[in-house]
Amino acid sequence: MGLISEILLLPLAPARGSGWAIRQVLAEAERIYYDPATIRAELARLEEQLEAGEITEEEFDRQEDELLDRLETATRTSAGLGNGTAP
């Protein structure tokens, strides 16, 4: 039965391969997005922008909250307290 289904599904192989590649790219993007080191670097850049006067205090607070939420999610997920997937 496995051989027959493989033969019948052969025309779909390029689509299945593309789907696999897309899933791999998305997984890597999520890994980078939720990497604590990346988030800390973004927080440092954000603080530099505030000190340089490039952004307002309100914009800093908004972006800082978003980054801290990401960091909390990353920490929970890596500690095994989350559901195993990033939101």
Q: What is the pTM of this model?
A: 0.67
What token pair was written down for 47? 């603080």
Distance CA 48, CA 45 (A): 5
**Separation between Cα atoms, residue 31 and residue 73, nearest integer Å:** 12
pLDDT (tens, 9 = 90+) of the chain, 87 residues, equals 578 887 777 787 788 888 889 999 999 999 999 999 999 999 999 999 999 999 999 999 999 999 999 999 998 987 775 444 544
Tokens standing for 28? Answer: 């890597």
Domain regions of the chain by residue span: 37-79
What is the predicted pLDDT for the residue at 84? 47
N residues, the chain: 87
